[in-house]
Structure 1
Amino acid sequence: MATLTFLGAVGEVTGSRYLLEVDGSEGTRKLLLECGMHQGGGDADERNARPFGRLARELSAVVISHGHLDHAGLLPKLVREGYRGPIHCTRDTRDLLEIMLADAAFVMAKDVEWENRWRHKADKPLLEPLYDTDDVEQTLAQCEPHHYGQPVSLPGGVTLVYRDAGHILGSAIVELKVPSGGRDRRLVFSGDLGNPESVLMEDPEKVFDADLVLMESTYGDRDHRPLDETLEEFARVLEEAHAAGGNVLIPAFAVGRTQEVLYHLSVLYHEGRLRQQLVFLDSPMAIRVTELYQKKRKSLNDEDLRVLNVAAQGDPSQYLPVLRLTRSVEESMAINRIHGGAIIIAGAGMCNGGRIIHHLRYNLAKPSTRVVIVGFQAAGTRGRQLVDGVERVKLFGEEVPVKARIHTIGGFSAHAGQSELLAWAGAFRQRPRFYLVHGEPGAQQALRSALAAAGIEAEIPDYGDRIEL
């Protein structure tokens, strides 16, 4: 018999983690599907810090769908606590993890160093980071990368196959064939399904056979605006910012969203519609990821790349000539001397850390500023506060009035909307059991109702729920 326990991303969008236990002749084998960080909310740090306990040494394998931190960000912590088995992922995910986990360790070290200064003065116990760069290196050494469509044998007689999820570079739908109850059962995890209208990525693959499906529900309550309307709104915001003389701030999701925004800025530039003459990519991680996307061009959508090639006469360096890459802290600080006419793309995407905080501090109080939100903002994050219309926000210990105009442009989302989720779920030939994960309660209930109207029954699990395959 095989069982699945829900250990994360239930009733919330982040913290992905599921435990698969398979009984066999050699005893019970434990496999971990996803090992993600919790992001947003007052208890996120506490939940991330909870020890894995005995599980770290009892696991036989780990399977990761893609490289976003809410799916893979606690891998080095698992390794730090004793896990030494294989970490299965796609080849492009392995390369992304090298960038993202190293950056997470660096940011964590800086945050802990800052916090410990105050703790030392207050004679309080000092903190330790969840993991460091040595743990990241060990994690990468344990990664076993695979191609899409390649069957992989896992402990317990389980077979893994990755399918293209079309979300970010290397993102995958996870198919697991699991022996249970005298026959093979098919467990399919959607991972994060991509938005077919997004550029650069291929469309998510359809899967037709499953006994049990774990499906994301991030945007289960709505569809995204059509891309052409989204681009017109984006161009209009940029034009208004130019007329008002202010800067445009775009909180950067380093993987996927940043590259898509740069693509659309490039198209606007070559159409003569980009009035701003300075575009800053102010995120060392986003810069490295953008360079990786360039290196991995064969993994991207040919038609979208052809558009860029035509626009820039085939010269990648001319896609966006006004782009400036600011790697150092000094270069980043210098941007704050520019009081208008610039587009500043800076991390982090949910405004809960990174260089965007400095740019918000210098620009939020100006009515001429435009803040363009291009991705999902989890509950409890500073980005969510801005989207919800907060009048003042605390930055570096001081209250800053929000006079800037906040624009939420959801059509850039790299997630499937409700209609795409319904179409993906409707492709299964039999009637598998559906469990909705990776969504806030309202979105999950809406998707559950929409699925029911289409004749598909779905359940919404709670933390710790355990089901048989």
Structure 2
Amino acid sequence: MNRGFRGEIITTAASRELAKLVMLDAAGLQEEEAERQARRHARHGHNKEELTGPLYTTLDALNSLDHFGRTATYGEAIALGKGVQATFSDAGHILGSASVLLELEEEGRKRRVLFSGDLGYQGRAILRDPNPPSDVDVVVMETTYGDRLHKSLRPSVEELYEAINSTFAAGGNVIIPTFALERAQEILYYLREGIKAGSLSGSIQVFLDSPMAISATEIFRRHPECYDKDACELFSEGHDPFNFPGLHFVRQTSESMALNRLGGGAVIMAGSGMCTGGRVRHHLKHHLWRKDSSIVFVGFAARGTLARLIVDGAKEIRLFGEEIPVRANIHTIGGFSAHADRDELLAWHRRTGSPARTFLVHGEQDTMESFAAQLSNTEVIMPGLHEEYSL
């Protein structure tokens, strides 16, 4: 908005709510970081001109909400202008995610252009499977995991249960660094399923120590129109797929600090997923050195993050000015990815029909080239920045 955008933002109802949550949270974090930088500069006598302010502020985020207009419903076309209409279809990635089909007409010529957005995979919990339209002329699709296959989900769930049970048997706590959107809700779902099936104790105590994840979970509850059949049946039978007797929502900082007094027998889910900030860093400080505790990573850990250092076997890490030895059990469970893998991407592409051209985007160059070699009966293009193509 600061760069002049004055148009209409069209999105699904769930995405609208999640966007508001994420933008306001990110703005607040940026403002806090700007204030910390200002204090550091003042202490060292640096010029204010050297400071970089937040990318956007809370006021900017609030002002942007005024541009959210029509709400998209899956499968219903929206007119955008003369000869242009858009239809959203479920991308199965996160709540409210969508692929967008543009139906274009100019001087009697028609084109159906499909933008994949981030794609989920078939058979995951809570959300429906991706559902692309067919008979598409042009596809623009992501290739994030276009060169690899994910570990199967069911063994990953069983591995999570085993990590929890073995840690409790040793007398420790389980710390799960958690992404607030999707991953937190998915883990809650499987914890509930584990209790129901007897794979986990019915008296298990789980603490969701992330105000943002708590708010996101409340948003999930308001949008069952995005759920798959199993999750819908739970709701229709009066069951909440994100709740069970031993679940506690931790909003206040004082409540979060009190968790560090728990000797054992607790699962603490806290952000951020890559341990770059948030409350999880405090829990790591109190548990990494404990041989009876476990740290369970259920998401991607990028290079250079604290999560990646721990996953790669660091013997000691620095937190809050202290050197903390890593003695806890470290579990890396890779089957919970929200992204489609190579085979799922290929299956999605086949369901679009026989597009004349396929543009590959959103992936490392090597990944795109590997995925391109798997495609047939379509012209594959890997566009560069600012390149233009006539449709």
TM-score by length of 2: 0.90
**Does 2:119 align with 1:193?**
yes
Q: List alignment gaps of at least 5 residues for structure 2.
A: none
The counterpart of 2:32, out of the listed 78, 99, 110, is 110
The counterpart of 2:60, out of the listed 127, 135, 156, is 135
The letter of the residue matching 1:131 is: Y
CA distance in 2, matches of 1:264, 1:220: 27
CA distance in 2, matches of 1:97, 1:284: 15
The counterpart of 2:87, out of the listed 148, 155, 161, is 161
Q: List alignment gaps of at least 5 residues for structure 1.
A: 1-78
Shift of 1:266: 0.5
* Aligned CA-pair RMSD: 2.5
CA distance in 2, matches of 1:221, 1:167: 18
- Between Structure 1 and Structure 2, how many residues are aligned? 386
Tell me what 1:329 maps to: 253
Task: Give the 3 Å change call, closer, same or farther, for CA 333–424 of structure 1 in structure 2.
Answer: same
Shift of 1:283: 0.7
Residue range with higher mean Cα deviation, 242-251 or 191-200: 242-251
What is the 5 A alignment of 1:234-313? 234-275=160-201, 277-307=204-234
Shift of 1:191: 0.9
Task: Give the 3 Å change call, closer, same or farther, for CA 460–114 of structure 1 in structure 2.
Answer: same
CA distance in 2, matches of 1:150, 1:366: 54
**Does 2:105 align with 1:183?**
no
CA-to-aligned-CA distance 1:119-155 (integer Å, 9 cap, x gap):
2222143332111222112111211221112222225
CA-to-aligned-CA distance 1:213-252 (integer Å, 9 cap, x gap):
2212222222222322222111111122112222212121
TM-score by length of 1: 0.76
Shift of 1:288: 0.7
Contact kept in structure 2, 1:198 and 1:260, CA below 8 Å: no
CA distance in 2, matches of 1:212, 1:379: 34
Residue range with higher mean Cα deviation, 321-330 or 91-100: 91-100
Shift of 1:165: 0.7
**Does 2:361 align with 1:437?**
yes
The letter of the residue matching 2:159 is: E
The letter of the residue matching 2:301 is: Q
**Does 2:275 align with 1:348?**
no
Contact kept in structure 1, 2:99 and 2:132, CA below 8 Å: no
Task: Give the 3 Å change call, closer, same or farther, for CA 181–387 of structure 1 in structure 2.
Answer: farther
Tell me what 1:99 maps to: 21
CA distance in 1, matches of 2:122, 2:269: 24
CA distance in 1, matches of 2:325, 2:381: 42
The letter of the residue matching 1:250 is: I
**What is the DSSP-based 3-state SS (H/G/I as helix, E as strand, rest coil) of the residue aligned with 1:336?**
helix
Contact kept in structure 2, 1:174 and 1:190, CA below 8 Å: yes
CA distance in 1, matches of 2:112, 2:194: 45
The letter of the residue matching 1:283 is: S
Tell me what 2:6 maps to: 84
**What is the DSSP-based 3-state SS (H/G/I as helix, E as strand, rest coil) of the residue aligned with 1:225?**
coil
Shift of 1:389: 3.2
Tell me what 1:403 maps to: 327
CA distance in 2, matches of 1:399, 1:176: 54
Shift of 1:462: 3.6
Contact kept in structure 1, 2:293 and 2:329, CA below 8 Å: yes
Residue range with higher mean Cα deviation, 175-184 or 276-285: 175-184
Structure 1 runs (4+) greater than 6 angstroms displaced: none
Shift of 1:205: 0.3
Contact kept in structure 2, 1:116 and 1:127, CA below 8 Å: no
Task: Give the 3 Å change call, closer, same or farther, for CA 423–350 of structure 1 in structure 2.
Answer: same
CA-to-aligned-CA distance 1:159-200 (integer Å, 9 cap, x gap):
221111111111000112345687233321111111212111
**Does 2:255 align with 1:365?**
no
**What is the DSSP-based 3-state SS (H/G/I as helix, E as strand, rest coil) of the residue aligned with 1:249?**
strand
Tell me what 1:393 maps to: 317
CA distance in 2, matches of 1:399, 1:177: 58
**What is the DSSP-based 3-state SS (H/G/I as helix, E as strand, rest coil) of the residue aligned with 2:169?**
helix
The counterpart of 1:232, out of the listed 134, 158, 165, is 158
The letter of the residue matching 2:114 is: V
Task: Give the 3 Å change call, closer, same or farther, for CA 351–462 of structure 1 in structure 2.
Answer: farther
Task: Give the 3 Å change call, closer, same or farther, for CA 364–442 of structure 1 in structure 2.
Answer: farther
The letter of the residue matching 1:209 is: D
Shift of 1:459: 3.6
Task: Give the 3 Å change call, closer, same or farther, for CA 455–136 of structure 1 in structure 2.
Answer: same
**What is the DSSP-based 3-state SS (H/G/I as helix, E as strand, rest coil) of the residue aligned with 1:243?**
helix
Residue range with higher mean Cα deviation, 414-423 or 459-468: 459-468
Shift of 1:324: 0.8
Contact kept in structure 2, 1:120 and 1:126, CA below 8 Å: no
Task: Give the 3 Å change call, closer, same or farther, for CA 423–342 of structure 1 in structure 2.
Answer: same
Residue range with higher mean Cα deviation, 436-445 or 425-434: 436-445
The letter of the residue matching 2:85 is: T
Paired-residue identity, %? 42
The letter of the residue matching 2:79 is: S
Shift of 1:463: 3.6
The counterpart of 2:146, out of the listed 205, 214, 220, is 220
CA distance in 2, matches of 1:199, 1:374: 15
**What is the DSSP-based 3-state SS (H/G/I as helix, E as strand, rest coil) of the residue aligned with 1:468?**
coil
What is the 5 A alignment of 1:455-466? 458-466=380-388
The letter of the residue matching 2:52 is: L
CA-to-aligned-CA distance 1:430-464 (integer Å, 9 cap, x gap):
2332222222344333323333xx55553433444
Contact kept in structure 2, 1:309 and 1:316, CA below 8 Å: no
